[in-house]
Structure 1
């Protein structure tokens, strides 16, 4: 039960991060310019790591549901984007790019999916819905 409470508490952090990015993105940037690669950052080497924590996944078809369980999430870099691979047969999330600095980083989506990934002080929190599949992860290095 404590693991579920911890997961929901950390998902709340992800919701706050998403809200902040939404508010910022709706600000006074109506100049018509596209977002350039300059706003995205390269993650520090120590954040490209494996995190251990609570993992939840529900596929769009509802088959093979992974409930809240102990699991891992591993961040890897390929060029200018990142992939998060999970344990327990949970599919990876690919093509991620991050915003941030000073130890706090977040990933946002530009393709209509709902995606909130927060890296802060060695903690990783993920709340994502992509093509009907839902991921939740909260853990640390």
Structure 2
């Protein structure tokens, strides 16, 4: 009888622990994407920025390295494109989130690792999409 009581106590503890783990793991279906926080950039930021541009295509051919170039943000609604000078391909389908203090950053595009930041009206880009790499820093 004592063995059966110990078994039931241990079983109830295991069930309790598994229940807590299950509830905590299913507590949120949030994938980390702040979809409700996408913003429309102020008109003053939908413009052309001057800076140092570096681009490396996935195939390694036609590298643009550290040239004085431009990056132009255009778009409508909350989806943007950044077009570059010097024959560098554009980055499309960008969406920004805002911090409320004049700083805006991308949340990335499909198949990308994009760190695009606009702070104090200066554009900084470090992005990799489809094996292509872009870097843009203010002069």
- Give the TM-score band, short-chain normalised: 0.7 to 0.9
> Which residue does 1:123 correspond to in 2?
122
Higher relative contact order (CA 8 A, sep 6+): 1
In structure 2, C-alpha distance between the alignment counterparts of 1:119 and 1:76, rounded to whole Å: 14
What is the Cα deviation at residue 110 of structure 1? 5.3
> Which residue does 1:47 correspond to in 2?
45
> Which residue does 2:73 correspond to in 1?
75
TM-score relative to the length of structure 2: 0.74
When the two chains are superposed, the root-mean-square deviation of aligned CA atoms in Å is 2.1
5+ residue gaps, structure 1, are 1-29
Match of 1:83, SS state, is strand
In structure 1, C-alpha distance between the alignment counterparts of 2:93 and 2:42, rounded to whole Å: 17
> Which residue does 1:32 correspond to in 2?
29
In structure 1, C-alpha distance between the alignment counterparts of 2:74 and 2:47, rounded to whole Å: 7
What is the Cα deviation at residue 113 of structure 1? 1.5
> Which residue does 1:65 correspond to in 2?
63
What does the per-residue CA deviation read over 1:67-122, in whole Å, with 9 as the maximum and x for residues that have no partner? 11000000001332000000000000000000112210000225341110000011
In structure 2, C-alpha distance between the alignment counterparts of 1:126 and 1:73, rounded to whole Å: 10
What is the Cα deviation at residue 33 of structure 1? 4.0
Q: How many residues align?
A: 113
In structure 2, C-alpha distance between the alignment counterparts of 1:95 and 1:70, rounded to whole Å: 25
In structure 1, C-alpha distance between the alignment counterparts of 2:41 and 2:77, rounded to whole Å: 12
In structure 1, C-alpha distance between the alignment counterparts of 2:81 and 2:68, rounded to whole Å: 20
Q: Is the 8 A contact 2:57 2:131 kept in 1?
A: yes
> Which residue does 1:90 correspond to in 2?
88
Match of 1:94, SS state, is strand
